[in-house]
Amino acid sequence: MLAKFATEQGQPLMMRVKRDDGSPLPMGADVLDASGKHVGVVGQAGTVFGRGVADKSSLTVRWT
């Protein structure tokens, strides 16, 4: 069976982020661009894996 689905292309992003006190952000937290679009997720030790982030973009990490 063939299945068609929309895909997104963009440059991959990998960076390590920390809180002001040096501790890593929570694993599984969402990474959003300035327009609120989901572009990645925080992995182990605060490593962010993202895709489709524009150059010189501002990112926000959100968790509950």
The pTM assigned to this predicted structure is 0.79
Is 18 part of a structural domain of the chain?
yes
pLDDT at 9 exceeding the cut of 90: no
Is 36 part of a structural domain of the chain?
yes
Instruction: Fill in the DSSP letter of residue 58.
Output: -
Question: In whole angstroms, what is the distance from residue 11 CA to residue 60 CA?
Answer: 18
User: What's the pLDDT tens digit per position in 26-49?
Assistant: 999 999 999 999 999 999 999 999
Is 64 part of a structural domain of the chain?
no
pLDDT (0 to 100) of residue 22: 93
In the predicted model, what is the mean pLDDT of the chain? 91
Is 41 part of a structural domain of the chain?
yes
Structural domain that includes position 17: 12-53
Total domain count for the chain?
Answer: 1
Q: Where are the beta strands (DSSP E) in the chain?
A: 12-16, 30-32, 38-42, 47-51, 60-62
What's the chain's length in residues? 64
Q: pLDDT higher for 6 or 30? A: 30
Is 60 part of a structural domain of the chain?
no
Is 7 part of a structural domain of the chain?
no
Is 34 part of a structural domain of the chain?
yes
Is 1 part of a structural domain of the chain?
no
Burial class (CB in 10 A: 0-12, 13-18, 19+), 61: middle
